Structure 1
Amino acid sequence: MREAFLLLALSLVLAHAFTRLELVIEWAKFQNEFGRSYRSSLEAEKRFSIFEDNLREIEEHNRRYYNGEESYTKGINEFADWTDQEFMDYLNTYREEDYSDIPCEVFEPNSSYKVPDAVDWKRITRIKRQGRCGSCWAFGSVGCLEAQLYLRKGVDIALSEQNLIDCSWEQGNSGCNGGGMGRAYQYIYQHGIQSERDYPYRARAGVCQFESERSVVSISGYVKIRKNETDLMAAVASMGPVAIGMHSTKTLKAYRFGILRIRNCKRFPLNHAAVLVGYGRDKGRDYYIIKNSWGRKWGEQGYVRLGNRGSNPCGVADSALFPKVV
């Protein structure tokens, strides 16, 4: 509750009109907090101009939130000096696929199981940050596997996304230029995966350094969920977090707090991978809880509450799966 209050307070600070001096101060704070440095004064001027435009848009949006016209707030994060097009290019690295070279089952909900009104698995795994590498597919597959490993075996360990980025090219992934979660699970099915401690994240593709004797988990395949929200909610409630593909838009760029309702969010193309960790309702608004891979300074400590649950918002039910831990 305290975290939610702080996020809201920070967002409302951005609901007033900035003077030039305040804008310069915010720019300096942003550069310091996110470690920004630019190759030239021209690049710095360009990024400052983009930052100013984004800040003005955040300011206007939060004013509407304060007036009861929006359901969520916006704030400054690592994307604050990016254009909308740069952000969309960053997103388009997830590839949906059906992979037949690995055992795959279809999730069958227990007909006698009563799906609870709300589920929240946020606290069983930690938020990570993918940086400028287009590796959402690796973070989605690993984040789900970490949760399944904890729930099935009681093992709490951070697994290596870098292992997948460097080593799963043969399965059809492309490092920081995109990939798919089915392909990631095919690699793990064939080889296993190392811990993050043994194979740390570098946010760039490199030579595969996998050591089979250091693999810490094996899977026997994965389970696909039919493309409907009834089965999706039953899976999250009864089996735990689920890896998903979703259609993401520029609306996500500055999301800070609240229930994000993306108007006319398409189901296709699915351009981003994440982990569905729960669902709930707040003041009559149904939502999903999605774990992202953009660090704790984005959204609600790294999570987003996506609204319009029940209408398959942004295609969250169209490519959902989870691995079977051995």
Structure 2
Amino acid sequence: MASPSSLPKLLLLACFTILSSSIRSSAHDFSIVGYSPDDLTCIDKLINLFESWIDKHGKKYKSLEEKLHRFEIFKDNLKHIDERNKVASNYWLGLNEFADMSHDEFKNMYLGSRQISCLKGMSPIKNSSTGMSRACLSRSTGGRKEPLLGSRTKDLVVCSCWAFSTVAAVEGINQIATGNLTELSEQELIDCDTTYNNGCNGGLMDYAFAYIVSKGGIHKEEDYPYLMEEGTCEENRGESEVVTISGYHDVPANDEQSLLKALANQPLSVAIEASGRDFQFYSGGVFDGHCGTELDHGVAAVGYGSSKGLDYIIVKNSWGPKWGEKGFIRMKRNTGKPAGMCGINKMTSFPTKNK
């Protein structure tokens, strides 16, 4: 006879067994945040929601026990999302593809540990660049500067936020200078830029800019594709064309006006603290939630604007197009704090390119 403490698990097992053959195959009618109030009222509706979420995101589990474990995490995440959505007024959270991951799992996979974060907690080296390059000012559409967005939002999974941030900025200035949008290789930086940077164990964007200058350019992504892991350096890939930059420049720390002045010309590599739980499930709006200034994630600032009285910076992330606003997040500016929202004003740099 089962003990009383094991009954809930047995009942849940029974529920999954029964529902697995009867749950509708069509996708759940997801709201903007991925659930409706009715989904929170009883276990049947929660299971139904979970099964629909599994179908929506193509999740597969090795066993029923693993599925039960993920369901418990899913429930806890849903509780957090719903509680935050009740009090946050300018942004909202949603059931994205990370909803079956605990926050610690998410941080370890996408940000690294606190001891070895994606940015390693290192101080950037100073550069010899003599100033900002002259670049064409882009037209603005609803605050988002379209020519500054660069290539599609990439999903770099468990490795190299610093490489993504570097490449996004180089792609942007190259497009402005040449008129051509060319997707570039994060993998080359991960494999070959090893003097100061440490691949999937962390790095800094300034070091990566310096590497590109010293090597005479960086390969296209199609010639040096992303592997989602560290590989063997292959700097010489036949006669493959490379994209060059002439130098790089650091924006004064904790100076939002200098950041915006630079951002009016081109995309920027910036660092933020992204380890807050709300970041995992950010779905839209102007983010003004709780976060610190311990930088642990490299991203790209690509534009700025205002909406309903809120000023924001548009940030391009590397967690895939299903996260946030198609891979982007709007982060509040004019916070009154020198470091800015999540420390975004603390460490900013950009590449330069002679036309």
TM-score (norm 2): 0.78
CA distance in structure 2 between the partners assigned to 1:103 and 1:283 by the alignment? 41
Instruction: Give how far 1:58 is off.
Output: 1.8
* Aligned ranges 1:171-320 → 2 under 5 Å: 171-191=195-215, 192-211=217-236, 213-227=239-253, 228-237=255-264, 239-248=265-274, 249-263=276-290, 265-267=291-293, 269-310=294-335, 311=337, 312-320=340-348
Q: Offset of 1:316 from its aligned partner?
A: 0.9
Q: What is aligned with 1:146?
A: 171
Distance (Å, rounded) in 1 between the aligned partners of 2:57 and 2:197:
29
User: 1:5 is matched with which residue?
Assistant: none
> What stretches of structure 2 of length at least 5 have no aligned partner?
1-29, 112-116
CA contact (8 A) 2:299 2:317 kept: yes
- Compared with structure 1, are the counterparts of its residues 218 and 177 closer, same or farther at alpha carbon in structure 2 (3 Å cutoff)? same
The alpha-carbon distance between structure 1 residues 317 and 52, as it changes in their structure 2 partners (threshold 3 A), is same
> What's the secondary structure of 1:219's corresponding residue?
coil
SS in 2 for 1:11: coil
Alignment partner of 1:87 is 2:111: no
Distance 1:195 1:303 in 2: 23
Q: Which has the higher relative contact order, 1 or 2, with Cα contacts under 8 A spaced 6 or more apart?
A: 1
- 2:33 corresponds, among 11, 14, 34, to 11
What's the secondary structure of 2:170's corresponding residue? helix
Relative to structure 1, is the Cα distance of residues 37 and 174 closer, same or farther in structure 2, using a 3 angstrom cutoff? Answer: farther
Deviation of residue 43 (structure 1)?
Answer: 3.2
Shift of 1:168: 1.2
Mind listing any 5+ residue stretches in structure 1 that lack a counterpart? 1-7
Give, in whole Å, the separation in 2 of the partners of 1:9 and 1:33. Answer: 13
After alignment, is 299-308 or 37-46 more displaced?
Answer: 37-46
1:129 aligned residue (130, 133, 155): 155
Q: Kindly state the Cα deviation for residue 57 of structure 1 after the two structures are TM-superposed.
A: 2.0
Count of residues in Structure 1 that have an aligned counterpart in Structure 2: 305
Larger radius of gyration: 2
Report the alpha carbon displacement of residue 134 of structure 1 after superposing the two structures with TM: 2.7
What do residues 48-101 of structure 1 show as CA deviations (whole Å, max 9, x unaligned)? 211121122223333x16xxx52211112222112122223332312343224x
Conservation of the 8 A alpha-carbon contact between 1:107 and 1:226: no
Q: 1:157 aligns with which of 176, 182, 190?
A: 182
CA contact (8 A) 1:106 1:226 kept: no
* Per-residue deviation, 1:128: 0.9
2:20 counterpart residue number: none
SS at match of 1:28: helix
User: Quick check: 1:27 aligned with 2:54?
Assistant: no
Would the alpha carbon gap of residues 117 and 286 (structure 1) be closer, same or farther in structure 2, given more than 3 Å must change?
A: farther
By how many angstroms is 1:309 displaced? 2.9
Q: CA RMSD in A?
A: 2.7
The normalised TM-score by structure 1 is 0.84
Aligned to 2:70: 47
